[in-house]
Amino acid sequence: MLRYTFSFPSTEEAFIISDDIFGRIIDTIDIEVAERQRLKLIVSELYMNAYLHGNKDDASKPIDVSIDVGADRIVTVVKNEGPGLSEKRFKELIEAKADFESDSGRGIRIVHKLSESVKLFRDEMGKFCIESTKKLKKSPMLIKS
Amino acid sequence: MDITTKINGDVAIINLEGRLDLTSANQLKDASREFFSKDNCKLVLNMDKVDFINSSGLGALVSILKEVRNHKGELKISNLAEYVKEIFDITQLSGIFDICEDESHALRSF
């Protein structure tokens, strides 16, 4: 198991840098290109959700990210210090019919569709966490040198 | 994101290259505004070289489509990579946009 962990301030600069870093890391994982793109999208959506809706661009609040690369799955956890999302609201968002007029919930619906499971919880520090588990079609997974 | 435009008759073709995300969404809206703000505009977004799109990028496309419709224009999206098309499908936006296989199909469909 490989684990990558990061903590970024909630700033636009960090947002841009983080996306590049996640992309480079995911590019080192030897999985098919489409799976890699889906994984990049999951991380991007979770991070953007934490940045825009969780910490609301408050630079004093960090966004913590961990990416665990296992033999048959990749687990991404993104933490923020915002009010979080209730299970009820999460369910409403993912079950909502596509609303052309509204952008609300589109990112979380993408994560839900591309992941095998999505969990919401608070960690021991009280931070709000969203965890995506993405199973890999190819197993065992190799890491490029 | 690199954005270039060309005019083919009465159709504006906007070629996109790179990532369509939170940071490039406004860039795209700004670059295409001069075209979609005209009545009866005809616009093709060629996404052949878009290698990544997220919900912010989709939001920008939806926003442009609304503007085009407000001006009684038409918007076509062409040359979607398989992966990008998948994102349109799972967000159920495939049925909202007029998606064409390639630029020539898009031009013929006006």
In CATH terms, the fold of domain B2-108 is: Transcription Regulator spoIIAA (3.30.750)
| pLDDT at residue B36 in the model | 86
Residue pLDDT, tens place only, B19-65:
999 889 999 999 999 998 889 999 999 999 999 999 999 999 999 99
Three-state SS string across chain B, please? Answer: CEEEEEEECCEEEEEEEEEECHHHHHHHHHHHHHHHCCCCCEEEEEEEEEEEECHHHHHHHHHHHHHHHHCCCEEEEECCCHHHHHHHHHCCCCCCCEEECCHHHHHHCC
Q: Is residue A29's pLDDT more than 90?
A: no
Q: A121 lies in which domain range?
A: 2-143
> Measured between beta carbons, which residues in chain A are less than 8 angstroms from residue B54?
41, 44-45, 48, 107, 110
CATH of the domain at A136: 3.30.565.10
How many independent structural domains does chain A possess?
A: 1
| pLDDT at residue A140 in the model | 41
Best of B69, B83, B84 to disrupt the A interface by mutation (most A CBs within 10 Å)? B83
| pLDDT at residue A99 in the model | 66
pTM: 0.90
| Domain range annotation of chain B | 2-108
ipTM confidence score: 0.88
> Measured between beta carbons, which residues in chain A are less than 8 angstroms from residue B55?
45, 48, 103, 106-107, 110
Residue pLDDT, tens place only, A60-96:
899 999 999 988 899 999 999 999 999 999 998 888 7
Q: Is residue A50's pLDDT more than 50?
A: yes
